[in-house]
Amino acid sequence: MQVPTALLSLFLGALLGAPVLAQTSQPTEPKAAPQDRPIASFRRDLLDAGFRAVAKLPTKPHVKNRARAEGGVVEAALELGQPELAASYAAQIDNWRGALALAEIAAYWIGEAELDEARSLMARAQEALEAASAEESQGWRLARVRATLAACHLRLGEPELAMELRVGLDASETAVVEVALAQLLAPESFDERFELAKEVAASGDFEGVHSMLASCTTLFARFYDEPERRTKVLALIESAWKTLPVPVRLETNAALFTAALEHGDDEAAAGFLAAADALLAATPTAPDARMPQLASLALQAGRLGRAEDARATVAEALELFHANRERIVDMVRCRALCPVAEAYVALGLEGEARAVYALAAAESFANPNGRPRAEDLATLCCSIARAGLEPDEALWIRIGTSLDRLAAPW
């Protein structure tokens, strides 16, 4: 779905009301080079182990799987405030995902107001994008890079450059741009933006509506303290998402929950949690898909201070695994268990978390082939790093042994 011309007009600087970041004059003293945030060394060690695991995959014929998994480690590094480490990983990604990783790291630096670093990475991403264009036959992949760079230009106060990258992209790849627009939208342009969002919702186009939801949840959070606007946006979201898959609805609902909670509206947050719980209860879902969804609900309950409900929900997710293990494909078991372990860590249940991570580590080698083993090991290492739970000696040994044993057949 192509975005209407009217929507493209929102790139014009006159409609961008929130402060944008722009280059400042040269400082009188040299500025120290930006650095990664201090974190525990074991978390960086875990990220390195995860990256080394997937880097063992031969590029032929596994370049797509390898690059996707390497990109996942980059995302984890950025979540932990490690952009320099992420950049070192991005430089080793062979296909278009290397350009995407560089653009995402640039976006991180913009958020940190490190604009020189951001511009340098944007230039590198643009060069990598142009190099990939000569080889990449499927334009949607390159469109993701263009959209991310467009969002960067918007946040730098460069709407014209953003428009050059944005024009012609399908809605399936532009959620990141729509979110940036919602963050920067001038309050007086709210009504115009809202009417355009209604047009997208009325179109019924799946990708367009999905992208619109990302934009609207941002508007919901931004204008939360204005009840009339908040209510209008919420009504539009709830009318538009009815035809979308349950995972998308749960993801959107979680964003609404977070917005309410961060604005001190526990009553509204509880309502969103109840709606998600009811939706999940009414929807038949495969066990491996349901486990992360239950873990997410447990986290939300914990953030609301409902410790007992949170513990019961995450325990339900783990019980679901044990009751259905043989029905769950071996190459997705680790991926299903990690969010459960993360929830246990967040709830302060370290013993339970360690037991689940040990189980996930064992399941990561259930498949006899090297590719799923490598991908599972990266998933496991990134999950533990995100959770911030230092592995005990047994788990370190398991990770090291698994890494050493990765080999053909892939």
Q: Where are the beta strands (DSSP E) in 182-230?
A: none
Nearest partner of 51 among 10, 24, 4, 87, judged by Cα: 87
Under 8 Å between Cβ of 128 and 71: no
Residues 248-285: pLDDT tens digits? Answer: 999 999 999 999 999 999 999 999 999 999 999 999 99
Residue 138: predicted pLDDT: 61
Residue 3: predicted pLDDT: 46
For 57, phi and psi rounded to 5 degrees?
-65, 130
Integer Cα distance of 272 and 352 in angstroms: 27
Integer Cα distance of 135 and 30 in angstroms: 40
Residue 270, number of CB atoms within 10 A of its CB? 17
Beta bridge partners of 170: 2
Under 8 Å between Cβ of 36 and 368: no
Q: How far is CA 405 from CA 32, 223, 373, 381, in A?
A: 42, 52, 10, 16
pTM: predicted TM-score of the whole model, two decimal places:
0.91
Confidence class of residue 168 from pLDDT cuts 50, 70 and 90? confident
- Give the least confident one: 25-29, 131-135, 303-307, 405-409: 25-29
Integer Cα distance of 339 and 356 in angstroms: 10
Task: Look up residue 124 and give its amino acid.
Answer: R
Q: Is the pLDDT of residue 66 over 70?
A: yes
